[in-house]
Amino acid sequence: MNRPIIIGIAGGSASGKSSIAKKIMETYEGTTSVRIIRQDDYYKDQSDKPMEERVKTNYDHPFAFDNELLLKQISELIAGRSIDKPTYDYVHHTRSDVTERCDPCDVLILEGLFVLEDARIRSILDIKIFVDTDADVRFIRRLLRDVQERGRTLDSVVNQYMTTVRDMHEQFVEPSKRHADVIIPEGGSNVVAIDLLITKINSIIRRTEG
């Protein structure tokens, strides 16, 4: 198997990173092996901490992620070896006991807040994407997602946004946009940008196969 094409998708919380990753995956479903790796699954394990300490963690700072494990597992996939990827329990604020078996693939999509912030991760990316969505839209999406899917209260989401999310975005996420090859406004609803991106992926696939 050839080295997989690695696509990094970064952007603010609820900017539409996952939507773009899913649309790319749908395009190649049944024709090639596509895998999505979410940086969120590599939040550091906090099982040794009581819940009152876990909720105080700044989850929007790069230090909250175990990028060493992420890079190690991506290296395994590049080498053609399967991995047991961690998953994260958002209700209990720690790494889950459940792992996900991931086999080597042709196209690897890595999406997360700090995919372009870490130079080590950037160095292995073939295509670097930043999803640029207005702050008010991102906040509304995050509010709905965290309440409906992650068991959070409205007050906790608002408090987290005001105390850490907004500042961390300005300090770490937004500056990483300068490293992007492609900037996609509004996320998954930008059909033209996604079509252009898929065209680029196709050209890389043809070049590697040739």
Task: Please give the order of strands across the beta sheet that includes 5-11.
Answer: 34-38, 107-111, 5-11, 127-132, 182-185
Expressed as residue numbers, the domain containing 85 is 5-209
157-208 confidence digits (pLDDT tens): 898 888 888 999 999 999 999 999 989 987 777 889 888 888 888 887 777 6
| Nearest CA-CA partner of 58 in 39, 44, 38, 37 | 44
Tokens of 133: 């969505």
Tally the domains of the chain: 1
| Nearest CA-CA partner of 112 in 70, 164, 76 | 70
103-116 confidence digits (pLDDT tens): 998 889 999 999 99
Does residue 126 have a pLDDT over 80? yes
Would you place residue 6 in the very low, low, confident or very high pLDDT band (cuts 50, 70, 90)?
very high
Does residue 128 have a pLDDT over 80? yes
43-101 confidence digits (pLDDT tens): 999 999 999 898 888 899 999 999 999 999 999 999 999 999 999 998 888 999 999 99
Check: CB of residue 4 under 8 Å from CB of residue 126. Answer: no
> How wide is the angle at C-alpha 106 spanned by C-alphas 183 and 76, nearest 5°?
100
pTM > 0.75: yes or no: yes
Domain harbouring 36, CATH code: 3.40.50.300
- Residue 94's contacts (CB-CB under 8 Å, 6 or more residues apart) are 43, 45, 46, 47, 49, 54, 88
Mean pLDDT of 37-48: 94
